[in-house]
Structure 1
């Protein structure tokens, strides 16, 4: 079965899905070591995430959608619109000197639904939304060695550079390097 088109998050309709966003967020951190704002909680040999903290994070992002400074794109597993399998966020911070800039945050795909083109679909929709909002300079960052740096290059993102020891790896506690990227969408406009 083909995946449905990605959906733009509407707080009035989609807020009950926030718990699924939080679960995907946790799975990416715990299974892949994704550098995604929060560190796991160690309970003896078991590693978990603070689900309440993740839900609060996504609720604050939902509030930013309501305020117009963010958009969230989600991908359902099928047309039943029950199971979310991926999410990405476009931050559009207010700036008089850069009202055309935006930031990609939290491209997260459930580890159980990888290699189906979901990340690409989410990014394509995010770029469409960015253009609609006149945010045609898109920036993002990703951890070196995660594999995502090659993914972003394939999507046409340009490397801005690497910041050494940028963040704490959530599973090893080691400091990891982060690569920053940018893409101008102006050439995509019709």
Structure 2
């Protein structure tokens, strides 16, 4: 199975047709890993699709760049295997800063290096667009917390009571990272 990383183009009908798949991966990651990722159970698929429609709309002016990992099968069909978002909060005082959001890989496609491929593409594009300082956060104690140092990110610190757990609604700490490109 081959995998390609492409930038989501909201004007591309085949890309827009993938928005329900974005929601499905989002739901799978919350359900499988109890990922703190914007929503808590009970999960409403239509509401999560609307969230991704808004993210896609934000891609039009370039505030968000969405990277997709598309996995192709032997019949040439492609399906969404994962994604990550580069948020570009363009300000006059920080045009060089970007934020990594929603690095999510479908449980069906893990352990294939997709997180690294997605982050490599994001970092390359960020640098090309002038975002040379990236920040991100993840749940303290999550598997993702171990991934980012392997990708060259430096832990900045931990904020207690940062996110609501999808398991028991308890407040969990968040770990923040940064990387200079």
Is 1:64 matched up with 2:68? Answer: no
Partner of 1:26: 27
Is 1:12 matched up with 2:5? Answer: no
**What is the DSSP-based 3-state SS (H/G/I as helix, E as strand, rest coil) of the residue aligned with 1:37?**
coil
Task: Give the 4+ runs in structure 1 shifted more than 2 A.
Answer: 79-82
Which of 49, 67, 73 aligns to 1:55? It is: 49
Deviation at 1:172, TM superposition (A): 2.2
Q: How far apart are the structure 2 equivalents of 1:174 and 1:155?
A: 29
Q: Does structure 1 conserve the Cα–Cα contact (< 8 Å) formed by 2:85 and 2:103?
A: yes
- Using the size of structure 1 for normalisation, the TM-score is 0.90
Q: How far apart are the structure 1 equivalents of 2:63 and 2:109?
A: 29
Partner of 1:172: 168
Deviation at 1:81, TM superposition (A): 5.2
Q: How many residues align?
A: 177
- Using the size of structure 2 for normalisation, the TM-score is 0.94
Q: How far apart are the structure 2 equivalents of 1:132 and 1:60?
A: 25
Is 1:145 matched up with 2:141? Answer: yes
Q: Does structure 1 conserve the Cα–Cα contact (< 8 Å) formed by 2:70 and 2:82?
A: yes
**What is the DSSP-based 3-state SS (H/G/I as helix, E as strand, rest coil) of the residue aligned with 2:72?**
coil
Deviation at 1:25, TM superposition (A): 0.3
Unaligned runs of 5+ in 2: none
Instruction: Kindly provide the CA deviation profile for residues 38-65 of structure 1, in whole angstroms up to 9, marking residues without a partner as x.
Output: 1111xxxxxxx21111111111111111
RMSD: 1.1
Deviation at 1:78, TM superposition (A): 1.4
Which of 152, 156, 167 aligns to 1:156? It is: 152
**What is the DSSP-based 3-state SS (H/G/I as helix, E as strand, rest coil) of the residue aligned with 2:47?**
helix
